[in-house]
Amino acid sequence: MEKTDITIIGAGVVGLAIAARLARPDLNVFILEKNPRHGEGISSRNSEVIHAGIYYPEGSLKAELCVTGNRMLYELARESGIPHRKVGKLIVAADPSETDELERLFRQGRKNGVPALEMIGEARIARLEPGVKARAALYSPETGILSVHDLMNAHLARAQRNGAHLICRTGVFHVETENGDWRILARNDRGEECTFRSGVVINCAGLASDTVANLTGGAYRLHYCKGDYCGISGVKPGLVRRLIYPAPLKNHVGLGVHLTMDLNGRLKLGPDATYIDRVEDYAVAPEKAALFYEHAVKFLPFLKPENVHPDMAGIRPKLQGPDDAFADFVIREDAPGFINLVGIESPGLTASPAIARYVQEHFL
């Protein structure tokens, strides 16, 4: 490979969504992925939730692209046969002191254009979710779940039908400009190196997106924020039918330990939010089960300690440090033809089709 038109670094859900949108027979589009196959990084370690766009400041990219991505993702899932379900979500106030935060979120969601939001009281909560204990709740019927792996497979299939090429086990370690193009040096997992030129480079490298961006002289710094999950077993099937979230932390680091489910009805708690050293550590400490139980039993009184057990973990690539204010997505052309997507954490999955359209409309 001597020259390609577009090189996408990273074959997670965002990189694949961009490839699916950009690929066409008259363009050479290559997707480089360091892992053995696509979708094995942070895209495979999340709650698989289609968010509505409630939590993010008005006018931010997170708000705009989440609200738009929600509609686009449901449409794509219906058209492509991607397993999904619009289950809805309750953000609950287990204590009266948390009601003000729900009211604030309600106003925030309305400003962001989130449809069909409702503030509801104890009687309505009891009708919707008899197993949930709460004084009040913010009800978001547009929140849902889907199969992220099926979504990524659909993106990849569309991109490949239009001529895109996926090259796995290959990472980028150097870039430089050359006659108006980008000269890329890559290395596979056998230590073999290759060099090629690309007219455009799109950095979707997830946890390594700051490192890739800084190859062109940037000064980005991501913080790794780990989220552990605990599974739930021994609970009557169908006891809870919607996602149940607590009133969120005010620093926006995480949304609190919440109840989610997959398309098979399997329940899990999490993720929490813990800043860690820059290592991909996915082990879940056994003591997390007791901690998660203590958080969740406040609004899920049917839980018993023996129902909760350690499960999986993911890592968020956050631009926001432990003591920092809200940090938005960075989607920026920092050098001509080099487009960086840095800090694409939640709601990156929901926003992914809207991010792809944004990249196309603003930079290509």
Same domain (yes/no): 132, 232: yes
**Domain tally for the chain?**
2
Residue 75 domain flag: no
| Composition of the chain by helix, strand, coil, percent to 5 | 30, 30, 40
Q: Per-residue pLDDT tens for 230-276?
A: 999 999 988 999 999 999 866 556 778 899 999 999 999 999 999 99
Residue 84 domain flag: no
User: What is the separation of C-alpha 238 from the centre of its chain, rounded to a whole number of angstroms?
Assistant: 26
pLDDT of residue 55: 94
Residue 71 domain flag: no
Tell me the backbone φ, ψ of residue 258, rounded to 5 degrees: -130, 170
Using 50, 70 and 90 to split pLDDT, how confident is the model at 203?
A: very high
Same domain (yes/no): 252, 291: yes
Q: Per-residue pLDDT tens for 314-343?
A: 999 999 999 899 999 999 999 999 999 999
The token pair at 274 is: 């813990």
pLDDT of residue 97: 87
DSSP-assigned states of every residue in 251-262: TSS---S-EEE-
Model confidence pTM above 0.85:
yes
Q: Per-residue pLDDT tens for 31-76?
A: 999 999 999 999 999 999 999 999 999 999 999 999 999 999 999 9
Same domain (yes/no): 100, 227: yes
Residue 305 above 90 pLDDT? yes
The range of the structural domain enclosing residue 227 comes to: 89-141+223-318
Unique residue bearing structure tokens 């962001």: 112
Residue 107 above 60 pLDDT? yes
Tell whether omega for the bond before 271 is within 30 degrees of 0, i.e. cis: yes
Residue 82 domain flag: no
Residues 6+ apart with CB under 8 A from 253: 225, 273, 318, 320, 322
pLDDT of residue 2: 84
Residue 72 domain flag: no
Residue 19 domain flag: yes
pLDDT of residue 251: 57
Could you give the CA distance from residue 13 to residue 151 in angstroms, rounded to a whole number?
8
For residue 7, count CB atoms less than 10 angstroms from its CB and return exposed for 0-12, middle for 13-18, buried for 19 or more.
Answer: buried
Residue 56 domain flag: no
pLDDT of residue 1: 61
Confirm if 160 and 55 have CB atoms less than 8 A apart.
Answer: no
Q: Please give the mean pLDDT across all residues of the chain.
A: 96
The enclosing domain of 201 has a CATH number of 3.50.50.60
